[in-house]
Amino acid sequence: MTWVLKSVLLYGEGEPVDVLLADGRIEAIGVGLSGDDAIDGAGLVLLPGLVDLHTHLREPGREDAETVETGTLAAALGGFTAVHAMANTDPVADTAGVVEQVWRLGLEAGHCDVAPVGAVTVGLRGEHMAELGSMADSAARVRVFSDDGKCVSDASLMRRAMEYVKAFDGVIAQHAQEPRLTEGAQMNEGITSSKLGLAGWPAVAEEAIIARDCILAGHVGGRLHVCHVSTAGSVELIRWAKDKGWDVTAEVTPHHLLLTDDLAATYDPVYKVNPPLRTQSDVEALRQGLADGTIDCVATDHAPHALEDKESEWGAASPGMTGLETALSVVAKAMVETGLLSWRQVAERLSETPARIGRLDGHGRPLEVGEPANLCLVDPSATWTVDPRTMATRSRNTPYAGDVLPARVVATFLRGRPTVLDGKPA
């Protein structure tokens, strides 16, 4: 079956054109094209399908919070055609068998491609390096490795991991959190934590690990990716590392581009996240870092939790927020409406660059004839109200409940097949 997207704006630029999709690829771009079915795209922006470098799908082990089926459906509704599934499952994704299981579950669900992230250390315990080579050689073809949720705090082990993955062009994605500086920490260390009497999480706990790992990456000539950057100081360190010519990339989450630690004053655990929400000055530095390219991409850190893990007192609640279905809208609010990014640059930060970092062939490709039809169609003038009850994700821990957000995903195509039409599962 062929589809034609009528009168769309490629990257939100230029004159409207028709885009014909056939046999999983972009067959033609022009005017007056026809196909078996059509979408009226007048006023809509066509982007390459979004790619998330940082998603928690929870399966295997915590299917009460999320499954590959529900998580990837949420991703498709958010405009994503590929996600990287983090390794902190139960069992941990530290062997070829587990990463292949997650990869096959993604194939069966069919909503978007799932690229498993392999653990750096066995059981995420930070003691012994996991089977990185066997995961890389598996059917899942793992290229991103992370102990996310925990920091690889042992410098020697981190060095060996970065050296090892060079053999197959892998990257180590670090959760930058010095554990000795964050024992018992509940929120950002600052004025608000002092007022509330909550144990503070200092910016230096993130920045110290980033500084160390950037130097290690430069020393061994390996690839380092910094997860969920959250402080102004971290942005400066990454800028310094890039100026040195070291192979360092970084991501920022949508919520760190918009929300601040003042929200902790509500004591609502929905605002508890790792790393914590920071100050307005940190938010401004992160936005500028994303705009000028110091921060390479946006990643959701979609972290679904069961009700009992979030609906408790602040101290007992698990950290994390859902984000797949709201990511593009939050970026539109924080970056597009403020004039910091164009839609063309949104395509770079949410599709092209994360696909390149994760070495995902077929995703984040140019909107050109012959390229894979992994696409996202967006209405930039629409607004919508976030209602956790109607979301596809199995969890309800969104910090945007009741908020009106800009930009709506109208359709998502995975290799020319619609996964979302008119904002609903196809």
pLDDT of residue 185: 97
Task: Tell how far CA 77 is from the center of its chain.
Answer: 14
Q: β-strand 37-40 against 25-30: which pairing, if any?
A: unpaired
Pair of tokens at residue 94: 């530290």
What is the maximum alpha-carbon separation in the chain?
Answer: 64
Burial class for 339, CB neighbours closer than 10 Å (0-12, 13-18, 19+): exposed
Radius of gyration in angstroms for the set of CA atoms belonging to the chain, rounded to a whole number: 20
Catalytic residue among 52, 94, 113, 301: 301
Task: Identify whether 301 is a catalytic site residue.
Answer: yes
pLDDT of residue 139: 98
Question: Alpha-carbon distance 163 to 172, whole Å?
Answer: 10
| φ, ψ (nearest 5 deg) of residue 64 | -70, -25
Question: Which residue is it, tokens 């290229």?
Answer: 143
| φ, ψ (nearest 5 deg) of residue 338 | -85, -5
The correct CATH number of 3-45+371-425 out of 2.30.40.10, 1.10.357.10, 3.40.50.10490, 1.25.40.10 is 2.30.40.10
- Per DSSP, 79 falls in state T
Report the amino acid identity of residue 116: P
DSSP 254-307: TGGGT--GGGGGG--GGG--SSPP--HHHHHHHHHHHHHTSS-EE---B----H
pLDDT of residue 328: 98
pLDDT of residue 355: 98
**388 contact partners, CB below 8 Å, separation of at least 6:** 396, 398, 401
Q: Is the dihedral of CA 85, 91, 93, 97 positive or negative?
A: negative
pLDDT of residue 131: 96
pLDDT of residue 409: 98
Nearest 5°: the CA angle 105, 324, 7 is 100
Residue boundaries of the structural domains of the chain? 3-45+371-425, 49-357
Q: What is the mean pLDDT of each run of 10 residues along the chain (426 residues)?
A: 97 98 98 97 98 98 98 98 98 98 98 98 98 98 98 98 98 98 97 96 98 98 98 98 98 98 97 98 98 98 97 96 98 98 98 98 97 98 98 98 98 98 97
The class of domain 49-357 in CATH terms is alpha beta
Task: Tell how far CA 12 is from the center of its chain.
Answer: 22
Question: Alpha-carbon distance 104 to 110, whole Å?
Answer: 10
Task: Tell how far CA 160 is from the center of its chain.
Answer: 26
Domains 3-45+371-425 and 49-357 alike in fold: no
Pair of tokens at residue 3: 């589809």
pLDDT of residue 245: 98
pLDDT of residue 105: 98
pLDDT of residue 47: 98
Pair of tokens at residue 366: 């140019």
